[in-house]
Amino acid sequence: MTDSPRGGGWATLKAWEIELGYYVGMHRSHFAVCERLQHLDKATSDFGGPNLHICGALGEIAVANYLNLYWSSGWGDLNAPDVGFCVEVRATNVIDGHLIITPRDVDQKIFVLARVCDVWLPRIQLPGWCRAVDGKKDEFRRAAPGRPAQFYVPQSQLEPIDALMVRITP
């Protein structure tokens, strides 16, 4: 069994929120196939295409709950912010996963990392956040063969999630 990580905030999802995350994720996956869309890193995922979308939806729900912000599910609008009209969520099911920022991400946007691991459900860890501009450092740039270069921000370099709560709360 995997030990739970230290640091970061935790969001606990209710059973219906997990079910909703799976439903939205499957819908997104179906939409991506029908529209012939490609994942940001041109991967279908080492874990399977639908799992990427399910992981993302669960991460978005967790961030919305933790920050007490609106979640629209991104239904039909690929350009809408993920949470609260101001926060983007990048989710991973890798324990030591990084927050991935792409070169085309708008510099001033805020990105939150959500770690969605089956062994922890219904709990999801939120290690932290950063603005895109702060994640676009040469030291974080990596490119896998046949894939575009992106910025992989380590969890140790993220601002604590509670600092974001203070920043976005009026």
Provide DSSP, the chain.
-PPPPSSSEEEE--HHHHHHHHHHHHHHHHHHHHTT---TTS---TT-HHHHHHHHHHHHHHHHHHHT--B-TTTT-TTS-SBTTTEEEEEESSTT--EEE-TTS-TT-EEEEEE--TTTTTEEEEEEEEEHHHH--GGGEE--TTS--EEEE-GGGSBPHHHHHHHH--
Q: For position 5, what pLDDT does the model report?
A: 44
Q: Is residue 1 part of a domain?
A: no
Q: Is residue 3 part of a domain?
A: no
Q: For position 47, what pLDDT does the model report?
A: 46
Q: What pLDDT band is residue 70 in, cutting at 50, 70 and 90?
A: very high
Q: Is residue 4 part of a domain?
A: no
Q: Is residue 2 part of a domain?
A: no
Please choose, from the candidates 80, 135, 143, the residue with its C-alpha nearest in 3D space to the C-alpha of residue 113. Answer: 135
**Mean pLDDT for the chain?**
85
Structural domain total, the chain: 1
Q: Is residue 120 part of a domain?
A: yes
The mean pLDDT value for 138-143 works out to 95
At CB < 8 A and 24+ separation, what contacts does 77-85 make? 81/109, 83/112, 84/168
Q: What pLDDT band is residue 118 in, cutting at 50, 70 and 90?
A: confident
Whether the model clears a pTM of 0.85, i.e. scores above it, the answer is yes
Alpha-carbon distance 82 to 72, whole Å?
A: 7
| Domain that residue 139 falls in | 9-168
150-153 and 99-101 strand pairing: antiparallel
Better-predicted residue by pLDDT, 63 or 29: 63
Residue 50 clears pLDDT 50, i.e. is over it: yes
141-142 and 150-153 strand pairing: antiparallel
Q: For position 167, what pLDDT does the model report?
A: 67
The mean pLDDT value for 74-94 works out to 87
